[in-house]
Amino acid sequence: MVIVDGNALAGALAEVLGPEPTVIELRCAGCDRLGAVGLTTVYRTAMGSVARCRACDTVLVTVVESGEQCWVGLPGARTMVSALLR
Ligand SMILES: [Zn+2]
């Protein structure tokens, strides 16, 4: 085992997020369904956006833009997966 800081994840995170993040697939913690971000149901308000699972309505992604920062939460996504861009 090697212990390093979070910068070691840069390559993997860049690979997963990639240039088209809507094709990333999220595993729903509520129903175990695997589906693309682009196929979720998104509710937008002035405060931010919430993406819900189409199968069980679990909140998968939250996005809040505040000033010059963007806060992204994945409260109901167990994992995320995308094809490697190699
Ligand atoms: Zn679900």
Which contacts qualify for 2-8: CB closer than 8 Å, 24 or more apart?
Answer: none
So what's the pLDDT on residue 45? 94
- Tokens representing residue 16 in the block: 């997963």
pLDDT tens for the 86 residues of the chain, in order: 999 999 998 988 888 888 888 999 999 999 999 999 999 999 999 999 999 999 999 999 999 999 999 999 999 999 999 877 65
pTM of the model: 0.86
How many helices and strands in the chain, by DSSP H and E? Answer: 1, 7
Query: What's residue 25's pLDDT?
Result: 94
Say if residues 24 and 36 touch (Cβ distance below 8 Å): yes
CA of 10 to the centre of ligand 1 (A): 28
Ligand 1 ion: residues within 5 Å (CB): 28, 30-31, 33, 53, 55-56, 58
Phi, psi of 52 (to 5 degrees): -115, 150
